[in-house]
Structure formats: C-alpha cells, structure tokens
C-alpha cells in the first residue's frame, strides 16, 4: 500500500465511523420509522420513474412544435435541448470505455476495468476528483432551468410537468454518476455491491425532490393565480402562503408600505429557480462525493484484503434496507 493509499484509507475509515455515529444519535422512534419507510420509498421511486420516462418527454416535444403560443416556443424548445443534453451525459457517463481510454491516453497499460485495480488509488482519485464541483455546477444549472420552466403558463408544460421532468433527470443523472464512479475504480456497475450503491443513489435523488417540488409547485400556482390581480385578498394570501411570505419579506426590506400583488408575483420565478438550483446542486454534488468515498473504500478493501467498516458490511450482507437509504451518504 502506497503512502497515499494508507492516508486515504485512514481518511475513509474516519468518514464511515463519523457517519455510523451520526446514525446512532437518532432517537429509536426515528430509526424505526426510517426502517419502515425505506423500501416503500424505493418501490415508489422505481414505479414513478418508469411511468414518467414512458410518457412525458414526447409530450413536451409535441407541444414545442404545435400547441404553444409562438412567444413560448423558444422556452419549450430549450427544455427539449436540456433533455437531449441530459441524455448525452447519461450515455457518456455509462460508457466504461471512456474511462479506459482516459488511462490509455496517460500511457497506462489498461485494456479492461479490472486492470484499473492494479493502479495506485492516487491515479484513480485524480480521475474522479473534479466530479464533485462539476456536478454541483451542472446541477445548479439544470435545477434552475426546470424551476424557470414551472412558470410557463401552459398546463402540460407548467409546474407539474417541470417537477416530473426534473425528477426523471435527477434519477437518470444520479444513476449515471454512480455508474461512472464504479467504472473509475475498476468495478463493473452490474456487480451486486456496486448495483446496491447505484440503487441507493437513485432513491436518494428521488427523496430529495419532495421539499423542492413543493416549493416549485407552490410558486407556479401562485404565479398563475396572481396574473392580472391588482388588489390583495385574504383568500389570495391564505391560498398562496409562499407569495404572502414574499410580500411580508418585501415589506420588511422596504419601508413597510404596501407591496403590489404584481411585485410579489414576480418573486415566484426567483423562488422556483433558487429552489431547483440549490437542491439539485447539493444532491448531484453530494452523490459524486459519497460515491467516490464508497468506490475507493471497496477498492482498497478488495485490493489489500482489508475489512470494510461495520456499517458497510452490514448493509451489503442484507437484501433488505437496514435503515434510511440516505444514511450511508449523508455527510
């Protein structure tokens, strides 16, 4: 084991130990609730992703060509381009030959994934090191795009469709990022241990959509409800509390005078964009980070006959989740 690998192994042990301790701090009732809901969440994510992938993108493409007002066509066509870009990324990330070609270009004698395991971990880490920042940045852009799309006043292309498509994109990208990390450390993504990690990543992306989806949906509904309104009403504030909160904030930041409905309404796209950008940047960046830790840990354990941390051994020995699907990946 090289000096770098020894230092990295110590760092990884500390990482997994810290995560195990944070798990133990959860109250018993919370742990029990997480264990009960874990598998249900995974099943729901799987069913939803299949249904969404089958239907939604083609609907959006059809609308881009016919049913949208001419002024909105560029916006919807932009969405189609984003979907195509995501598809290209998924194809690229799940191509193991791309990883092998990278190392060949550096003069390393590799012809298959297994050959990568003979290389020093420092070389493999070098290949994945930039992934965290890259996917935080790309996640922010993707999330902001879908957040903005939720403001388009067309039923099929509005907030619900934007949320749906965003979920598909996040699931696809999460799985693809985890797959690329598997290949980067010499593992076949079809290997049971690696497949387990990829499945958990997809579930994590699905679970993190709920708070963001709620904010984007509320912002889109408020944006549409306030269109053409001049005066506030109690019902408007009660039905659209997010917009009422923006009104209150604008009063606090200003001189306390009345805030026109149209001014608060224009804050809704900002809420949707930041909700999408912030969440997606965090989720994709964290997936890349945690997948790197997992891949490096598995490699060193296999390469030098080292024992996996207890929390990883327990999870891999069971076909059923032992707790919250996010537990192993939460910082």
In a domain, 330, yes or no: no
In a domain, 331, yes or no: no
Pairwise CA distance, residues 205 & 298, whole Å: 22
In a domain, 16, yes or no: yes
Pairwise CA distance, residues 145 & 29, whole Å: 39
Entry pTM: 0.71
Q: For residue 154, what are the domain limits?
A: 3-316
In a domain, 329, yes or no: no
In tens, the pLDDT along 49-71 reads 444 344 444 544 454 444 445 55
Pairwise CA distance, residues 86 & 94, whole Å: 12
In a domain, 166, yes or no: yes
* Element (DSSP H or E) covering residue 64: helix 28-65
Give the chain's mean pLDDT: 75
Angle formed by the axes of helices 28-65 and 192-207, nearest 10°: 80
Answer positive or negative: Cα dihedral of 60, 61, 67, 68: positive
Pairwise CA distance, residues 298 & 278, whole Å: 30
- Residue identified by tokens 């296999």 is 302
CA angle at residue 43 from 42 to 47, to 5 degrees?
120
In a domain, 321, yes or no: no
In tens, the pLDDT along 180-217 reads 999 999 998 888 878 877 887 777 666 666 677 777 77
In a domain, 327, yes or no: no
In tens, the pLDDT along 21-54 reads 765 554 555 445 444 444 444 444 444 444 434 4
First and final C-alpha spacing in the chain: 27
Q: Looking at the 3D structure of the chain, how many domains does it have?
A: 1
Pairwise CA distance, residues 61 & 216, whole Å: 22
- What percentage of the chain reaches a pLDDT higher than 90? 22
């Amino acid at each position: 084991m090289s000096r770098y690998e020894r230092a990295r192994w110590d760092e990884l042990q500390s990482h997994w130990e810290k995560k195990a301790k944070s798990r133990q701090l959860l109250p018993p009732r919370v742990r029990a609730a997480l264990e009960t809901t874990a598998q249900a969440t995974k099943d729901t994510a799987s069913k939803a992703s299949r249904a969404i992938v089958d239907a939604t993108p083609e609907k959006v493409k059809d609308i881009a060509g016919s049913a949208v007002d001419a002024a909105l066509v560029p916006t919807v066509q932009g969405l189609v381009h984003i979907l195509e870009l995501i598809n290209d990324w998924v194809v690229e990330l799940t191509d193991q030959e791309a990883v092998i070609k990278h190392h060949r270009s550096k003069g390393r004698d590799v012809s298959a994934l297994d050959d990568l395991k003979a290389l020093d971990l420092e070389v493999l880490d070098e290949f994945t090191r930039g992934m965290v920042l890259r996917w935080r940045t790309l996640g922010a852009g993707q999330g902001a795009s879908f957040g903005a799309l939720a403001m388009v006043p067309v039923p099929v292309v509005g907030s619900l469709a934007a949320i749906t498509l965003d979920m598909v994109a996040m699931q696809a990208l999460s799985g693809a990022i985890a797959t690329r990390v598997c290949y980067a450390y010499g593992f076949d993504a079809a290997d049971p241990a690696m497949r387990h990690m990829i499945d958990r990543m997809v579930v994590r992306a699905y679970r993190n959509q709920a708070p963001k989806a709620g904010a984007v949906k509320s912002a889109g509904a408020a944006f549409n409800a306030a269109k053409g309104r001049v005066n506030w009403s109690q019902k408007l504030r009660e039905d659209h509390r997010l917009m009422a909160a923006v009104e209150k904030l604008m009063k606090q930041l200003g001189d306390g005078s009345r805030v026109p409905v149209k001014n608060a309404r224009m804050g809704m796209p900002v809420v949707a964009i930041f909700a999408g950008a912030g969440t997606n940047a965090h989720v994709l960046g964290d997936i890349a980070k945690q997948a790197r830790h997992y891949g490096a840990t598995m490699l060193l354990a296999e390469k030098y006959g080292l024992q996996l941390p207890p929390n990883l051994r327990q999870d891999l020995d069971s076909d059923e989740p032992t707790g919250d699907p996010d537990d192993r990946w939460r910082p």
